[in-house]
Amino acid sequence: MSANVGRDVSEYKMLEAQFRQAQELESIGRLAGGVAHDFNNLLAVISGYNGMLLEKTDPADHKYASLVEIRKAAEKGAELTHRLLTFSRRQTPRPEPLNWTALIADDEQMVRRLIGEDIRLVTHLEPSVDLVRADSTQLRQVLLNLVVNAWDAMPHGGTLTIATSNRVLTGKSAKSAGVPSGKYVELTVTDTGIGMTEEVRSHLFEPFYTTKEEGKGTGLGLSTVYGIIRQHGGHIEVKSEPGKGACFRVLLRALPAERAQDVTEPSSR
């Protein structure tokens, strides 16, 4: 007499789907890297000719201002290609002393365009925030991923609050965050959205975890944020309850004063 043997393959199918997603993202990364490389070559030609024309043009000439705008556009394009090359892993991250408040202020208009008119943006940015050592592209990626996450949580509008401040962690507070005692720069991104349950919070930073319906999210945004922050020796946590919004708190180690003399200001958009 034959016996029927059943086997649960749901976990296998889930892993197979995740693997396919990873392959698709890898393909997108390769495509982005190729496009960025070709675009960079075009920018080099544009910048070269633009520089020659600037040298030959009198600053009093009305055409000079237009040439300066072309140069600015080329510089912004070069920054964009750097982002794409970093995304495709063809560009090594460039850690440098950065002022996170200045970086966020520089991207504020981009954030406002991203969230639309239904969401009110409030910023509390500490002007004298300490410097951190990080790659500016990666910090922008952290900010934008957190903003997009907040935007998704407020489908009917709400308030998004972004704040920076200096913090000193000692004893229990440092141990709770899993970081050494010392001075830190804190970024908080708070929304008034739908919030989340304890179950969702416990899986939030796992790769491929998403609460969106199939085809509407890769589940990599927050896991990428987590990876970047941990690579920088920092800490990220979230506090949230259903119906009460969410607050993401990021901590990055502040640079000692003697190592923070040469600050790199973020490029304007």
* Contact criterion met (CB below 8 Å) for 99 and 131: yes
Report DSSP letters for the chain, one per residue: ---------HHHHHHHHHHHHHHHHHHHHHHHHHHHHHHHHHHHHHHHHHHHHHHHS-TTSHHHHHHHHHHHHHHHHHHHHHHHHHHTT-S----EEE-HHHHHHHTHHHHHHHH-TTEEEEEEE-TTPPPEEE-HHHHHHHHHHHHHHHHHT-TT-EEEEEEEEEEEE-HHHHHHHTS-SEEEEEEEEEE-S----HHHHHHTTSTT---SPTTS--S-HHHHHHHHHHHTT-EEEEEE-TTS-EEEEEEEEBPPGGG-SS--PPPP-
Backbone angles phi, psi at 223, to 5 degrees: -70, -35
Q: Which residues pair with 140 in a beta bridge?
A: none
Q: Of the candidates 182, 179, 148, which has an alpha carbon nearest to the alpha carbon of residue 162?
A: 148
Confidence at residue 113, expressed as pLDDT on a 0 to 100 scale: 84
Terminal-to-terminal C-alpha distance of the chain: 74
Neighbours of 97 (CB within 10 A): 16
Backbone angles phi, psi at 205, to 5 degrees: -95, 10
State the Cα–Cα distance between residues 253 and 132, nearest whole angstrom.
6
Per-residue model confidence as pLDDT tens for the chain (269 residues): 555 555 666 656 656 655 565 555 556 556 666 677 777 788 888 888 898 999 999 989 888 999 998 988 888 777 767 656 655 554 566 789 999 999 999 888 888 888 888 999 999 999 999 999 998 888 888 898 899 889 989 999 999 999 999 999 888 888 877 788 899 999 999 999 999 888 887 777 776 555 554 444 444 567 778 888 888 888 888 999 899 999 999 999 999 865 545 554 554 44
Confidence at residue 40, expressed as pLDDT on a 0 to 100 scale: 77
Q: Of the candidates 89, 88, 93, 91, which has an alpha carbon nearest to the alpha carbon of residue 31?
A: 88
Structure tokens at 200: 């969702």
Q: Of the candidates 153, 214, 37, 9, which has an alpha carbon nearest to the alpha carbon of residue 29?
A: 37
CATH code linked to domain 10-87 = 1.10.287
Structure tokens at 158: 């709400």
Structure tokens at 91: 């560009």
Q: Of the candidates 181, 207, 199, which has an alpha carbon nearest to the alpha carbon of residue 240?
A: 199
State the Cα–Cα distance between residues 186 and 135, nearest whole angstrom.
16
Structure tokens at 48: 């070269």
Domain ranges of the chain: 10-87, 96-259
CATH topology assigned to domain 96-259: Heat Shock Protein 90 (3.30.565)
Flag whether the pTM goes above 0.85.
no
Q: Which residues pair with 159 in a beta bridge?
A: 120
